[in-house]
Structure 1
Amino acid sequence: MEGTRLQKVGRLIQKELGEILQREGASIVPGKMLTVTQVRVSPDLSIARVYISIFPSNDSDKSIELIKNHTKFLRGELGKRVRHQLRVIPELSFFIDDSLDYIERIDNLLKE
């Protein structure tokens, strides 16, 4: 169970990374819409697991690799935005959030 502080830090990182990816996402992953769906922060605030939904979802593995290649840039931009709220900017680990694809697959199965 996450504590209140971890949840607040996670929401802050989610909000700021979402804005950064909205502004810079087209240059990182052209032709894709990126959404930060969830951020889970480790108890010591050193690692943040960022879950990203990618639309359209074809070649999402390739897209997540492009995002991982820009981790240093994204962490730097995040640091500029949250430097007054957080003492240490956590290391970012990016993962694909395929829950929307899963929901769509189940929905299609139920319609049959």
Structure 2
Amino acid sequence: MDSNRQLKVGKLFQEELAEAFRKWASEEFAGNIISVTEVKVSPDLSVAKIYVSIFPNTRKEEILATIKTNTPLFRGILSKGVAKTMRITPELVFKLDNSLDEIEKIDNALKGKGNNPIL
């Protein structure tokens, strides 16, 4: 169970990073949308796991690798955005959120498309 502070910090990080990704993706990966679906912050606020969703998902591994390479850039952007609220900017760990892929698989299975083991 996350504390109230963790939830507030996570929400703040999500908003700041969403805006940063919107600007960055339009320059680096035109035609792709990168959204921050969830941010989980450790109890001591030293590590933040950022779950990103990439659409369309044809280049998701390449884009995620580029995001991980540019982690210091995003940490700098985040530190400027939350400087008045936090003294130390946590370490950022980016993870790919595959929930949209899973939803699509379930939707296709319900429609009778693809490999459905039940039918």
Instruction: Tell me the TM-score normalized by structure 1.
Output: 0.95
Of structures 1 and 2, the larger Rg is shown by 2
**Aligned residue identity for 2:33:** M
Could you give the per-residue CA deviations for residues 63-89 of structure 1, whole angstroms, max 9, x where no partner exists? Answer: 100011111011001111110011110
Q: Distance in 1 between matches of 2:95 and 2:61?
A: 9
Corresponding position of 2:23: 23
Q: Distance in 2 between matches of 1:97 and 1:106?
A: 16
Corresponding position of 1:85: 85
Unaligned runs of 5+ in 1: none
Corresponding position of 2:9: 9
Shift of residue 24, structure 1, vs aligned partner: 1.6
Moved over 6 A (4+): none
Shift of residue 30, structure 1, vs aligned partner: 3.8
Residue-pair matches, total:
112
**Aligned residue identity for 2:107:** D
| Aligned counterparts, 1:1-112, within 5 A | 1-112=1-112
Decide whether aligned partners of structure 1 residues 78 and 84 sit closer, same or farther in structure 2, where only a CA change above 3 A counts: same
Unaligned runs of 5+ in 2: 113-119
- Sequence identity, in percent? 45
Instruction: Tell me the TM-score normalized by structure 2.
Output: 0.90
What is the RMSD computed on CA atoms of the aligned residues?
A: 1.0
SS in structure 1 at match of 2:52? strand
